Amino acid sequence: MNTIKKNTKPTLLSGIQPSGNLALGNYIGAMRNWVSLQKDYNGIFIVVDMHAITVKQEPAQLRKRCLSFAAQYLAAGIDPQENIIFMQSHVPQHAELAWVLNCYTYLGELNRMTQFKDKSKRHNDNINAGLYTYPALMAADILLYQTDLVPVGADQKQHLELTRDLAMRFNNAFSPTFKVPEPFIPKEGARIMSLQEPEKKMSKSDSNENNYIALLDPPDVLVRKIKRAVTDSGREITPDSMKNPGTGNLLTLFAVLSELTPKQTIQRFEGKQYSELKDELADALIAFLEPFQKRYDKILSEKDYLTNILEEGAEKAQYIARKTLSKVYRKIGFVAPGRS
């Protein structure tokens, strides 16, 4: 009997802005979850280049970084056979749906977005309209694909709430059109903090490169960054070290890389000097990142390989996106092309 297996897996979608260098925080907070969830979901992973230009970018660098990010998604273990990986700007439906959603988003909603407020402070010479309406573009990214689950960091929760509100608003105003997505926010436990200022999150867009571990940092840079990382003024690891922002962050990093619980990590280091923790952590980082970097180099050395994956990804994405967008256009009253 000819049985066609129906694909019933739910859809998972996420994206990272190609700004700065992908950092260990991105891997632990996001990409690692993408990889572990991919067998149970249809994964859609986007390099959101259109979001990146809401702050100033140098064109040559942006171009290079976009490809580098896609290669790093693959190097992290996203299987291009099983998932859709593409550049946002290769799928014009994102901009198109974003426009429609802009017309259903209230200024009051955008005014509340904390990321807009933060970024306007940090880039106060360039508070542009795109930065302001960016949440509508993000909602379009998600809603085009009838997404079930969106794994994001806690800082994106507000944008996801707005996405859900927009989906419900549209569905109520017309008829069910969009699936209302659920956020997937990893547990606080594994939050990786800045190496120099451990009160704030490790961020790839940090202006101080010593604050984060880039996934592509070579071994000597890794060693240097860990050596310079701040700890408290003590010398030896005690059970209380976990509570100190700097020392605790290094212990957490070690725990995550070695798949140990915080308790096991303390047991392992109790009574040891901070310098020993740093040496062991640097070794663990190198061992962890080396195979990743090898895979990355291999992917980039086969130029067509990546180009083909992105081309295929954009095609598959457009196929889904077109369906949603044409429904939207019909419901809001646009005349279908070729039919008057």
Contact with ligand TRP (CB under 6 A) among 13, 85, 237, 320: 13
- Residues of 289-318 as b/e, b for ≥16 C-beta within 10 angstroms? beebbebbeebbeeeeebeebbeebbebbb
204 is catalytic: yes
Report, in Å, the least distance between residue 236 CB and ligand TRP: 38
Strands in 58-130 per DSSP E: 84-87
For residue 117, indicate whether it is catalytic: no
CB of residue 131 to ligand TRP, shortest distance in Å = 11
Write out the two tokens for 137.
């573009």
Contact flag: residue 17 with ligand TRP (CB under 6 A): yes
Nearest to ligand TRP of 47, 213 (CB atom) = 47
Q: 152 and 129 in contact (C-beta within 8 Å)?
A: no
CA-wise closest residue to 237 among 251, 252, 255, 223: 251
| Of 45 and 274, CB closest to ligand TRP | 45
How many Å apart are CA 41 and CA 14, to the nearest integer? 12
Contact status: 51 vs ligand TRP (CB under 6 A): yes
Q: Does 19 bind ligand TRP (CB under 6 A)?
A: no
| Contact assessment for residue 324 and residue 145, using Cβ atoms and an 8 Å cutoff | yes
Give 130 or 245: the residue with its C-beta nearer to ligand TRP: 130
Nearer of residues 212 and 274 to ligand TRP, judged by Cβ: 212
178 close to 167: Cβ distance less than 8 angstroms: yes
What are the structure tokens assigned to 58, written together? 């140098």
In the complex, least distance from residue 139 CB atom to ligand TRP, rounded to whole angstroms: 8
The C-alpha atoms of residue 255 and residue 193 are separated, in whole angstroms, by 14
The region of 10-18, 194-202, 232-240, 299-307 touching ligand TRP under the rule CB under 6 A is 10-18
Please state the closest distance from residue 340 (CB atom) to ligand TRP, in A: 36
Dist CA 289 CA 216 (whole Å)? 8
Residues 119-158 that bind ligand TRP (CB under 6 A): 138, 141-142, 150, 152, 156
Binding site for ligand TRP (CB under 6 A): 13-15, 17, 48, 51, 138, 141-142, 150, 152, 156, 159
Catalytically active residues, by annotation: 119, 201, 204
